[in-house]
Structure 1
C-alpha cells in the first residue's frame, strides 16, 4: 500500500490548521496541518492521541474550537447570502421592486381601476431619459411600455424595447413559470441605466447611438437595393436573400433592439444564410384568458426576421454598439450626428480620394463623412467656477463608443493586434499570454495547450464522433456516422475579442471582412470538437481527417476522407506491405486514394479551393499551344472546382460537405 502524500485527498484535509503559541525557535515543534500530526505527543511522540487538557495547554479549549466552527459556518453563510443578493429575484411585483431598490432606481406603485379588480401599475423611472410602465393584474404582468425622452419616430426605440422587456418577463418555451427569474430583464435594464448615467454629463448617449444607426441603416438600404437588382426576381424570398447578402458580404445589417438585446446591434455574419425557414410573418401568442391573438410583433414587421424565431438554425454574429466612460483627452469622444455618411452613399467613380482596394476591385467607395465634435453645454452663470475646468465652455464629453462582440470572437494573435491598431487602440495587456485557438474556441473548459508548456512543435489532435444527415443517390435521407480527427498546431496563438473601442462607424465596417473569416471558421470547427468528447468505436464510421492552418495570411483547412469506391477499412491488416497498399491505392487491392481537398477561407468568408483531387486535371492545358476549345475547357474546369467551394459555403458543415463530395464522385463514376 502506497504511503499517503500531502496531496492525498482525505476527509480530514479541510480541518483548520492549529499552531502553538510557543516561540517558533523552540525545536521539535509540530505544525498540526495533517491528521498524522494530531496523533503525536509533544513530549517525544509516546502517546497516540492528544487529550483535551493537552489542547488546553496549547490555548485550544473546547469552547474555542466550538467558536471557530461557528465562525466558519457564519462566514460561509454570509458568503452564500452575498452571492444570492447579486442575483435578481423571480418575476413578481416584489421581485421587480426589490431589483429597482438594488439598482437605486425609483419605482412608483399605482393602483388601477377598482380595488376588487386587483390591478396595479409599476412605474420605473430610468433617470432623466426614460420611464418603464408595467401593468399587472392578480400578480400577472399584462404588458410593458418603455418610453424614452430622446426617442424618434424613425427609430421607435420605445415600442421595440417594450417588446424585448415584455419577453424578458415571460418564460421561455418549455420553461416552468416558477423558474422564471429577472436575470434577462435585469441585463437590459442595466443597459438603459448605464446609458442614462453617462448622459448626465450633458451629451445624450441614446442620441449618439441613434445617429450611428441612422447612417448605417442608410448604407444598408442602399446596398440591399443593389443586391435585389442583381437577384432573379422570380426566386422566392428575394428580399431576405438580398438582406443576408448585405449582412454577410457587405456592410452588415444594423438593427435597433434586435432579438433579446436592448440597443443597436450590427450583425455581420449568419450561419447557413442560404437556409430561410418558412415562418409566418405574424406570430400567435396566448392571452391570459387562453384565447389566441396576434402578438405585438405582428404590428411592426420591420424589425422581425425569420431567423429570430429559430436562432439555432441561423446563428448570428453581431456587435452591440454602446457607450462607456473614457477621458476625452485620451480617446476620441462620442459625436452626436446623423451625418456619418453622405446622402449619395458612395463616391463618384473618378473621385481622387477613393479607397485603393475599391479601385482595384472595381467597386464603389463609401462616402464617409466626419461630423463635427459634440461639446457639452457650459454651466450657468450661477454655477460657473473659473477654477473648475469641467465647467468650462467647449468641454468634450468623457464618453467613447464601444462595440461588444456577441458572441466573443477568437482570432489569431497577429490579427487581433492588427485590428486594435486599425482602430487606434492600445494593444491589450494580455498580448503575451500563450493562449491558442484550441484552448479558447475548441476546448474552453480545459487547460490551454499553450499555457501547459507542451512542445512548441506539437500538433493537437481532437477526436469525436458525429451523426451526419446525408442523401443517397436516389435523394433519400439517411444517417451516417463520422469519426472526426482534427489536427491543429499549438504554436499558432490566438486571442478572444470581446470589446473594441472605436470613434467612427467606418472603422467597424472596414474590419468586417476579416471578422467573417474567423466567424465562418469557428462555425465549421466547433461542432466537430466539443470539449471532453471521447472517441467512440464504430466499425461502420467514416473517417474524416481535418488539418487546420490557423495563421495568416488566411486560415486553411485540408480534409481527407475515403474514396466512395474503396473497400471499407479493416482492422486486421496482416503486414506493413498491406497497410502501404491500402494507403497508396495499389493495384492488388480495390482501394483508391483518399479524397483530399484544401480550402482557403478568404476575407468575407469567400472560399477558394487551392488543392483537390476530385475534379480531374486537364493535361491539354499544360501545353503552350492553347486554342479556344482549351480555354473553354479551362473555364469549365474552374467552374467545377469552384462548385466544391460553393457547396461548403451553402451547407456550412464539413461532415455534410464530405458526404456531398463522395456522392458527386459516385455520380461521375456512374
Structure 2
C-alpha cells in the first residue's frame, strides 16, 4: 500500500511558478455535457494549460497523454496565437486518431489500412488473414470467435539464417502482444503493442527496399547479434569457471553477472522485444524465487514483480551517409579469439587494462557495405545510381525504459558515439522531475531552484521480520532530499556505428539505472492524485468510492526514513538516515514512555540511552557497484602505524586504536562491504533500513554495546 504525497521544498513550501490556486479537477457544469475537441472552450482550456494562466493548469490529462509529448513543455509556455493553438489541437487529434483500437478482426484490418499494410484472406484457413509486410516479411493472423488463436511470422532471414529462428520466436512475441497481460481483462487488450512491433518490421523493410539500395537491415542486425552473442558466451564461460559445479542456478547466475557487469546479454526476439535487444541491468538480480512454475522463463526474464530489466533495442534508422557512419553487414565485429593481451602501444587499449595487465576485447572494423548501382537508371548525371554509394542508414540503440542521466553525462555519451547534443535539449529538467515525479512541474522549472533543499515524500507499508521470526507490518514515511539540483536529460535513443561503442558506455548506464531502480520503489509517483469527484459509469458525477479499510496488521508508530541524493557526476551518492532501534522503543512500554513523535525527539535529546539515527552513505560506482563510503554502525579501526583517522572509543585514546591488528581492520572492512551488498541484493531502501536496524540490535547484544567488535551475522 502506497500513499504518495506531493513534493515540496524544505524548510517551507512554495507553489510552483505555473501552478494555479484553483482545484486541479473541476466537474463540468450542466450534468454530462462534455467539451468537444473542436470547441472554442477546449481551445481556451488548452491555451490556459500551455500558458499557465489558471483554469485547469498543468492538471489536464487526455487519455494518458503527457503535456511534453504534445509539444506543450514549460519552456514554451507563453501566450500562443490562434495558429499556434490550432497546430497544437491538430497534434492532439492526430495522436488520438492514431491510437489503435481493441483486439478484433475489424480493428486489425483498420490498423493495416492506416499503416499501409496489404492484407488478404487465407484461401485455405478460415479466420486467417495474411499481412504482407513489405518485400521481406509475411504475417498470418488467425482469429477464432473474434479472439486471437495464432500468429505466424516469416521473413527472408529465416531462409538466409535459419539457425536464428527469427520467425518462430517473433511469432511468439506477436501472439503475446495480442493477448492480455497478467491480471488484465480480455476486454481491455488493445492493438498498441502489436502496432509497435508491426511498425518496427515496416521500418526495417522500408529502409532495405530496392529503391533505397536494397541493403537488408535484417542481415545487418543479425550480424551485430552474432558478434555480441559470441562475446556474451565467452564471458559467461569465463564466469562459470569461477563457480562451484554444484552451485544452484549457476548457469543463470553467471548469465546475470555478465548482463550486469560485463558486455550485457544480447537476445534476438527475447522477452517482449521483437528484434535485437541488449540487456544491461537487472534490478535485484541476486533474487531467485525458491518455487518456480516455469523455471527457464522466470530465470531468464526475471519475475516482473521483483525484477526490472533495463535494455537497449538495437534497430536501424534513416540517416545521410555523409553525416554519420552507415550500417555495415558483417558477422566479424569481433575476432574469434575474443580477447587480446594488454598492449601499451595500442592506441585503443583501455588505461585500466594496461595498468592491471588484463586483456581487452579484440574488436574488428568491418569493411563498408556499398550499394549496388540501380540498373533502371540510365541518366548519365544520376549520381545516386553510381557504384560505391553507401547506404543512408545507421544503427540506433533505443532505451527501454528511457534512462535519466545528468546533463554532463548526456553530453559525454553523445560525444562517445560521435553526435552533438540537440540545442532544444538544454532545458531546466532534473532527475526528480523526469524519473520520480513526471506528472508534476519539474523542480528545475520553478524559481526556487538552488534556494531550498527540494523534498518529496511518500508513505507505504513494509513487512518487518524480527530475529525470532515474528512478522508484522509497519508504515514507513520516506523523504527524499535533493540539496543540489543537477540538470538532467532522458536518454531515449543513441545512434552508433560500431557495437563496441555501446559496450563501452554500459558501465556508466548501469550507474544511473541502479540509482533509479533503488529510488523508484519508495518515491515514484506515476500520476496526480484522483480528483475529489469522479464520473460514474452512467455519466453522473458523484463522490468517490469509499476507500478500502486500513491494513489492520499495521502495528507501532510509523518509521521515518530520510534519503539525501547527490546526483552530481561522476558518482551518484545516497545518504540514508533511519532511527536507531533503541531510540524509540516500538513495543507498548516504549510507546507510553516516548509518546508522540515530538515527545520522542525530546526523549532522544534528554535520555543518553537513546542513540543517534543510523546513517549510511552509499556511492553508486560504474557497473552499478554500491560502495559504502561512510557509516556510523561500525567502528572502523586504523591500521598499525597510522594514528590519523583512528576510531575514538570510550576509555581508549587514538594511539591505542592505531595499534589494532590488521586482521581486525580487514574484518571490519568486510562487514562494511556487506552493508552495500545487502542493499544490492534487496534493492529497496525500506527493506534495507529494517535489516540495518535488526543487524544493529544483534551487534550490540553480541558485543555489549560495542558495535564494531562482533560479526554482523
Please classify the TM superposition score into its range, dividing by the shorter chain length.
0.7 to 0.9
Structure whose CA Rg is larger: 1
Which residue of 111, 115, 120 corresponds with 1:108?
Answer: 120
Q: Secondary structure at the match of 1:230?
A: coil
Give the unaligned 5+ runs of structure 2: 1-19, 42-88, 531-549, 586-593, 644-654, 702-713
Change (3 A) 1:363 1:627: farther
Which residue of 263, 268, 283 corresponds with 1:256?
Answer: 268
CA contact (8 A) 2:314 2:397 kept: yes
Change (3 A) 1:612 1:424: same
For normalisation by structure 2, the TM-score amounts to 0.75
- 2:333 corresponds in structure 1 to 340
Change (3 A) 1:498 1:83: closer
- Distance, in Å, in 1 between the alignment partners of 2:584 and 2:621 is 36
**Deviation string for 1:353-405 (max 9, x for gaps)?**
2322222344320001101101111122x523221211111000001111110
1:606 maps onto 2:625 in alignment? yes
Which residue of 615, 626, 632 corresponds with 1:596?
Answer: 615
CA contact (8 A) 1:558 1:597 kept: yes
Question: What is the 5 A alignment of 1:260-299?
Answer: 260-278=272-290
Structure 1 residue 349, shift from structure 2 partner? 4.2
Which residue of 163, 176, 183 corresponds with 1:167?
Answer: 176
CA contact (8 A) 1:347 1:364 kept: yes
Q: Which moved more, 1:274-283 or 1:611-620?
A: 274-283
Which residue of 574, 584, 587 corresponds with 1:567?
Answer: 584
Change (3 A) 1:533 1:274: farther
- 2:679 corresponds in structure 1 to 648
CA contact (8 A) 2:292 2:298 kept: no
CA root-mean-square deviation: 3.2
Q: Secondary structure at the match of 2:123?
A: strand
- Distance, in Å, in 2 between the alignment partners of 1:464 and 1:145 is 46
Which residue of 199, 203, 213 corresponds with 1:194?
Answer: 203
- 2:544 corresponds in structure 1 to none
Structure 1 residue 80, shift from structure 2 partner? 9.9
- Distance, in Å, in 1 between the alignment partners of 2:279 and 2:510 is 11
Q: Which moved more, 1:465-474 or 1:523-532?
A: 523-532
Change (3 A) 1:432 1:319: same
Q: Which moved more, 1:482-491 or 1:80-89?
A: 80-89
- 1:246 corresponds in structure 2 to 258
Question: What is the 5 A alignment of 1:352-431?
Answer: 352-353=345-346, 354-380=349-375, 382-431=376-425
Q: Secondary structure at the match of 2:221?
A: helix
- Distance, in Å, in 2 between the alignment partners of 1:528 and 1:6 is 28
Q: How many residues align?
A: 576
Structure 1 residue 177, shift from structure 2 partner? 2.6
Q: Secondary structure at the match of 1:319?
A: strand
CA contact (8 A) 2:344 2:354 kept: no
Give the unaligned 5+ runs of structure 1: 18-76, 114-118, 284-300
- 1:65 corresponds in structure 2 to none
Structure 1 residue 348, shift from structure 2 partner? 2.4
Q: Secondary structure at the match of 1:591?
A: coil
Q: Secondary structure at the match of 2:219?
A: helix
Structure 1 residue 589, shift from structure 2 partner? 3.6
Structure 1 residue 486, shift from structure 2 partner? 0.9
1:515 maps onto 2:515 in alignment? no
Question: What is the 5 A alignment of 1:114-129?
Answer: 119-129=126-136
CA contact (8 A) 2:433 2:441 kept: yes
1:467 maps onto 2:461 in alignment? yes
Structure 1 residue 124, shift from structure 2 partner? 1.0
Change (3 A) 1:560 1:280: closer
CA contact (8 A) 2:103 2:147 kept: no
Higher relative contact order (CA 8 A, sep 6+): 2
Change (3 A) 1:450 1:79: closer
- Distance, in Å, in 2 between the alignment partners of 1:594 and 1:131 is 63
- 2:190 corresponds in structure 1 to 181
Structure 1 residue 543, shift from structure 2 partner? 1.2
Q: Secondary structure at the match of 1:317?
A: strand
**Deviation string for 1:225-278 (max 9, x for gaps)?**
011111222221000000000000000000111222211110000011011235
Structure 1 residue 560, shift from structure 2 partner? 1.1
Structure 1 residue 411, shift from structure 2 partner? 0.8
